[in-house]
Chain A
């Protein structure tokens, strides 16, 4: 008995011709790929937008209008990501035989082959990474050591970069594929599904993935979205992202001796919750829109932040630093830019949907402002300081 030689092993590895499904090929790949490319483009742009909303750069001041903006961009980001999963899987299936292409004979072609494979390797790795990390993040499952926010952003640039390189390399094939008919040539090898059937199948799967989850941000689909992470319910009819216990705020927030500190330059003032409740109250309907892709409208009642800072003599368009009682978590302090303070809908809310805030929604008082990521709607507020 002799040991198998390299050639013997090579013979056992399948070749692209061994895959007989007639529905594969550039006409299928180009169509699914175009849809996937558009989906990734939407995810990339809405993702960048979300980073801008977290910390608005000087050249792009993001204001409170329209109030629903972040709700729409971030809902779209997560929904598009979920709908991309069937597209990515079918796209990879359609080109899987090419994984077994043998390297070309000529030296120069070999180098190009290695470069192309490397770029596709980066693209596939980054694409799977983005969808996986996003899907896990929306269920608050973090089985990794990296920072989700920063890594999801960095790998997004790599993914879109590799995608652009891939389009550049494949452009002639893509054009030919999109030009080619979806109707099959005479089936030769197999009686599997037609191209048209595969394209319809992936459209249905992608649409179902969307409809069965998007109810967490589209109210009339709440009942239909049985695979949504949230169903829109919760205490006072609003979901909670971080409970008082998880934020380490329970003790301070339930202390009856609570007073809110107001500071502006040299002036300061303390107000009890009863005193806050005696100030002129405003009621507004505003959404909570979370980075995890769920959102929900609610009716908030409280004191306008601009009215509060007027008590310590600060002008309406001032920037306000908000400090929370929470002892855990990265967003214990937030900054309300002047544009938001200037908007009378920006409240220090005391009530939610007609009842005093529950502990998990930020009792004794919380910030609610139009068009802000949920995590910046600081709960359990203990101090407002006007930046001078």
Chain B
């Protein structure tokens, strides 16, 4: 056999079928199936005695939990998440300050191919937690209300709560010897600009950092292959958690921004083409130097906007300065004046052509009173870097459109809407990537 053939696809050994570990309870003789080969603690499903699997021989650790708790999920329930199947192999209840009404129910989700996750429920709100190796830059256990911490991946988190959890109940199989009454410190931080929670837990010889993402009851039910998750008596199911609300809010704002972007874009093109052209004339350089006027044009409505477009088509590596006066035709009174300067340079550098500047100028003028008007123009222009000129050496095309709409406001709105859409779009993407990172 060619040595490399051993590595060809299909040449490896076929995956052996998964076989859960089978044990007998030394106390009651009940047959127990343990999927997680790393399990050290098993609570007998028949007699509730706690069994120690650390060594080859199963030992009885003692009586099980002092009271039964109700759970909407059972040992052995399947949980489908991101292409992998998990199984509930243990359930726990943790309480704080010995207050059983403030109970958090936890489900150990096991997969031999993907590792473990924790599903937890508190007050009808569901969370999914995975461990991370990314560390906070400061000690999370000394943080207090109002404090912020940063993790080494650049994310910022705001202190949410801290305290001490106490284990009140456990059943199923766990990869460590959990004991009723075990305590561990915790500190939780809400992600700034996100929906996740950073959770630090300390049990003395070990510090674990986890990232928690909120799940809706619907997401939990779908992962379990159910239509809903049965509420626990006395616990009101959360309609929608904060994370889902935030996500939905982002989606709504991003969608509104995209709609505004499209609308303003359409309005921009509509405004750009609106109005009726009254004058279009080409002025020679000599006339521009001496001072020229357009034909009179009629502005139909008071408050109408006219669009004045100056185009110096022959401008090349040159500049032009034009004084523009809008005058009333009947008495020559000046209504509006403005200077228009444009320059256009181009060339080839390093084998690549370039250009800068513009050969045209567009100005919108609001006319208070209807009637006849004309434009008076005088210009100078020069080639290259000349800073002064006494005459125009370029011609100019002038056009006037009555009843124009000013499109720049629509353009500004389009930019604003586009920018906001990008911000909220990236925010959604980042949230999705965060969810993917938890794989």
Q: Is the pairing of A and B real?
A: no
Q: Taking beta carbons and an 8 Å cutoff, which residues of A are in contact with B?
A: none
